[in-house]
Amino acid sequence: MSEYIEPIETLAEKFRRLPGVGKKSAVRMAFSVLDMSEEDARAFSEAILSAKTKVRRCSVCGNMTDEELCSVCRDSGRDRSLICVVENSRDVITFERVREYRGLYHVLGGVISPVRGVGPSDLSTDSLLKRLSNGTVREVIIATNPTVEGETTAMYISRLISPLGVKATRLAYGVPVGSDLEYADEVTLNRAIEGRREIK
Amino acid sequence: MSEYIEPIETLAEKFRRLPGVGKKSAVRMAFSVLDMSEEDARAFSEAILSAKTKVRRCSVCGNMTDEELCSVCRDSGRDRSLICVVENSRDVITFERVREYRGLYHVLGGVISPVRGVGPSDLSTDSLLKRLSNGTVREVIIATNPTVEGETTAMYISRLISPLGVKATRLAYGVPVGSDLEYADEVTLNRAIEGRREIK
């Protein structure tokens, strides 16, 4: 016999699958649902289904949207000659938070990872190449993560792009602004030295 | 304009209301729902509604159940002369985990707390007194938490019970088994000294 009655057990199991939720937290969450008003529980239940069914990929860049095009692609004020290639929609949000970047995005939907069985064909590279074919785009910033897999993917994409005569760039590596050099790892520090700039 | 598209924002807000979930975790959880299969998302959504609508209070003791009577009240092997009064259903689960206690329970549904506006009439004391009226119950263990509010409530209940000639008891206070005396707080240590027992 399980410790909790079935509906609570089932719900706790669902919460358990969320990132960062352990067994005890999942049970606490399940009990907290019982403490909600029925209206709130209903709204919660609907929000899950609604997020899952309404959210889809932008037909141009692959970013998350609840319309045909994402908010960036819809925005007429964006620089259409510049595309920033990112791993996922969360990276788009990170860039948008900075408010400095005014170009478009292209969401790959992952990185090449033999370990996880993700190959180049699993990424949205075809749609990227299609976007580059009409000559509007001058530069592609490849902003995959600075990990081995991110680097491999960046390499792969830059090679795909080069025959098209579009400039491919990569984010600068270096020490984070406001950080302490003491805590920088060797690789980052080496990259920071390699990429040093003249003070004018 | 909010950072995330509406369905994600709404869902993150719902997760945010769960115990122990901060803003960042809530957003991560919302995104993880998008990564679920539609079937899983639907099952999750239904589990919430199902827990909220199916779970109710046992008509005898107030414990959580998805039937008319809870599993303890249904169990013919329990000692019906003993009732353990607890604050909520989670406390029942805690006691059941110990497997030592074989009596019944009574779930108060809270404790007297002027700060939170909970008075004696908000607790299920009437149904407790009703259970004590037929003479079957010999003893009531008042197992509210060892907090100020729990103590006040225990006091109140023991006074309600005393005219009925039913024995009211309280859990022993003392140092936790297996703990280090060094970490025991003063009040607990004092209570442990007061309640000391002869070694036979």
The CA distance from A12 to the nearest CA of chain B, in Å, is: 9
pLDDT at residue number A74 = 96
Contact assessment for residue A174 and residue A188, using Cβ atoms and an 8 Å cutoff = yes
B19 vs A contacts (CB less than 8 Å): 25, 28-29, 32
Q: Is B186 exposed, middle or buried (0-12, 13-18, 19+ CB in 10 A)?
A: exposed
The CA distance from B116 to the nearest CA of chain A, in Å, is: 15
CB contact under 8 A, B44 and A3: no
A44 vs B contacts (CB less than 8 Å): 14, 17, 48
B94 touches chain A (CB under 8 A): no
CB contact under 8 A, A48 and B50: no
Question: Would you give the end-to-end CA distance of chain A in angstroms?
Answer: 74
Query: Which tens digits make up the pLDDT trace of A38-89?
Result: 999 999 999 999 999 999 999 999 999 999 999 999 999 999 999 999 999 9
Query: pTM of the predicted model, to two decimals?
Result: 0.73
Bridge partners of A118?
Answer: A113
The CA distance from B98 to the nearest CA of chain A, in Å, is: 12
ipTM of the complex: 0.75
The total number of residues shown for chain A amounts to 200
pLDDT at residue number A2 = 66
Beta strands in A25-127 (DSSP E): 56-57, 64-65, 79-86, 103-107
The CA distance from B92 to the nearest CA of chain A, in Å, is: 10
Can you read off the two tokens belonging to residue B108?
């108060």
CB contact under 8 A, A44 and B10: no
Mean pLDDT of B29-55: 95
CB contact under 8 A, A11 and B53: no
Q: Which of B1, B4, B5, B15 would you mutate first to test chain A, the one with the most A CBs within 10 A? A: B5
Name the B residues in 9-38 with CB < 8 Å from any A CB.
10-11, 13-15, 17-21, 25, 28-34, 36, 38
Query: Which tens digits make up the pLDDT trace of B145-163?
Result: 888 999 999 999 999 998 9
Query: Which tens digits make up the pLDDT trace of A140-150?
Result: 999 998 889 99
Query: Which tens digits make up the pLDDT trace of A120-163?
Result: 999 999 999 999 999 999 999 999 988 899 999 999 999 999 99
In which residue are the tokens 């809530």 written? B26
Q: What is the rounded CA–CA span in Å between residue B107 and residue A23?
A: 24
Tell me the one-letter amino acid at B155.
Answer: M
Q: What is the rounded CA–CA span in Å between residue B131 and residue B87?
A: 17
pLDDT at residue number B185 = 82
Q: What is the rounded CA–CA span in Å between residue B21 and residue A29?
A: 9
The CA distance from B45 to the nearest CA of chain A, in Å, is: 4
Q: Which of B135, B145, B110, B138 is nearest to B125 (CA)?
A: B110
Can you read off the two tokens belonging to residue B155?
């006091």
Query: In this structure, is the dihedral angle defined by the CA atoms of residues B120, B121, B122 and B126, taken in order, positive or negative?
Result: positive
pLDDT at residue number B180 = 80
Mean pLDDT of B112-120: 93
CB contact under 8 A, A48 and B11: yes
In which residue are the tokens 């795909």 written? A160
SS3 A126: helix
